[in-house]
Amino acid sequence: MSENIVWHHQKVTRADRASIKNQSPCLLWFTGLSGSGKSTIANALDVALFERGYHTFLLDGDNVRHGLNKDLGFSDEDRVENIRRIGEVSKLFTDAGVIVLSAFISPFTTDRRLVRNLFPAGEFIEVFMDTPLQTCEERDPKGLYEKARAGKIKHFTGIDSPYEAPERPEVRLDTSQMSVDDCVNRLISYLLDRQLIFTSPQATGA
């Protein structure tokens, strides 16, 4: 980093921005195998929070690779850079007082820890989609497992590239056993219990 770059402190703080939204900023980091339900549950939670009047933003792995990270491939090195960029973008959104939902395979423990370390204690919520590989393969919504098994896709997580499962995630969900509504209700209960969201802004007339 150039010595000529100096951090500029803003007068409006992240706490100021969050207070008018009746919420505390945080990042829900959905991690798990392809087909485990990351995007489905993140989208459903995003809708549920939005309908309650909260300020959210969803970052989805495929969508981000259409723009910000379109220059990255799927090598281990590119996966690391992919997650690093998303962590920094997520931090900017939380600085704006927003609840961020990020849905990425993010297979490596060190990368997820790197993102966690960007946030104050309690603001990084690791949501492990602990859905069995067999279920993910049976779903195979994008046909990627079939291609990976046939050798048409290399470095595919769960097949020829490892997935390092979180040891102590804040929330663990298994969509082979839980419905979408069950998962969303579990996550909303977690946010309420941790006082990251409060009474719905719509309900209070705020």
- Catalytic site positions: 106
Nearest to 62 by CA among 144, 175, 128, 170: 144
DSSP E strands, 36-129: 56-60, 99-103, 124-129
Half-sphere exposure at residue 179, Cβ-oriented, CA atoms within 13 angstroms: 3
Beta bridge partners, 98, equal none
DSSP category for residue 142: T
Q: Give the list of residues 6+ apart from residue 157 with CB closer than 8 angstroms, or none.
A: 33, 34, 105, 107, 163
Please answer whether residues 28 and 127 qualify as being in contact, where contact means their C-beta atoms are separated by less than 8 angstroms. Answer: yes
